Amino acid sequence: MTNANQQAVPPGISRLAALAPLTPAARQALDLAARQARTVKARGELQVEGREIRAPMILLSGWACRAFNLADGRRQIASLLLPGDLIGMYNHEAPIANASVIALTEVVVCEAPQPREAADLGGLAEAYAISAALDQAYLLRNITRLGRMDAYERIGNWLLELRERLALAGIGSSNQFPMPLTQEVMADTLGLTSVHINRTLQQMRKDNLIALQNGVITLADPARLATLADHHPACVTAAGSRPEG
């Protein structure tokens, strides 16, 4: 609980702090950036494919995605972006966006403080690096889902990954988390039709694996679902222990 003089830490900052120990100076830099955050409504563009990226951002709250639109109107969501994920973080000069980034819900974003500009922002570069490594791991995992898993496995594996990722940001519990996405968005993410998504979710309910009510997913038996969906928590560093969700 917070009082008038103390605001809650944004989930995005909580997630970065969970990835690497941050010095007080790094925390202060993130807090300052968060105070200058902006809100983008659902379906708003955060980044446009082919355009120059002016500054990297941190997603402080809300859900977004990297998406590609085909000429006939079909869309593929390449990856979801959740609180604490970085948008447009590149190390070369004048980077160009290689995908459009769209807000799926109302989101809050801020400019990402750059560790190279201040030597005392200890831990921030490491948090960014681990975040980038996890981003790659999740992207590769999604390629595996799309290429080799059936609908049941895809959805189960994806739901467990969401639980893992949201837990790093302090969102949800061990078996429950918000699900603000429509079945159409799920279909665009998982390479299925909305009808197939609906049928598979209904089967998972009948199998007593999940419950979906009022925008909240409950995983009734995460261990059994992990076995059925061949899910393992992402691990990108052997240094210290990282939360697994």
pLDDT confidence of residue 117: 54
Rounded Cα gap, residues 154 and 16, in angstroms: 27
Written as one string, the DSSP assignment of 33-80 is: HHHT-EEE-TT-EEE-TTSBP-S-EEEEES-EEEEEE-TTS-EEEEEE
Of 4-8, 10-14, 134-138, 195-199, the least confident: 4-8
Domain 150-233 top-level CATH class = mainly alpha
How large is the average pLDDT for residues 10-32? 94
Check residue 121 and give its pLDDT.
72
Does the pLDDT at position 44 exceed 90?
yes
Per the model's pLDDT, the better-predicted residue between 69 and 146 turns out to be 146
**Helical axes 151-168 vs 11-19, angle rounded to 10°:** 90
Query: What's the pLDDT at 7?
Result: 64
What is the rounded distance in angstroms from the CA atom of residue 123 to the CA atom of residue 245?
21
Query: 35: pLDDT confidence band, cut at 50, 70 and 90?
Result: very high
Residues of the chain with CATH 2.60.120.10: 10-148
pLDDT of residue 238: 75
Say whether pLDDT at 93 is over 90. Answer: no
Domain 10-148: top CATH class? mainly beta
Binned at pLDDT 50, 70 and 90, residue 237 comes out as confident
What's the pLDDT band for 38 if we cut at 50, 70, 90? Answer: very high
Instruction: With cut-offs at 50, 70 and 90, classify the pLDDT of residue 2.
Output: very low
Cα angle 150-151-156, degrees, rounded to a multiple of 5: 105
- 114: pLDDT confidence band, cut at 50, 70 and 90? confident
Q: What percent of the chain has pLDDT over 90?
A: 77
Contacts of 226 (CB under 8 A, 6+ apart): 156, 160, 232
What is the band of 239 on the pLDDT scale with cuts at 50, 70, 90?
low
Where are the CATH 1.10.10.10 domain residues in the chain? 150-233
244 pLDDT above the threshold of 80: no
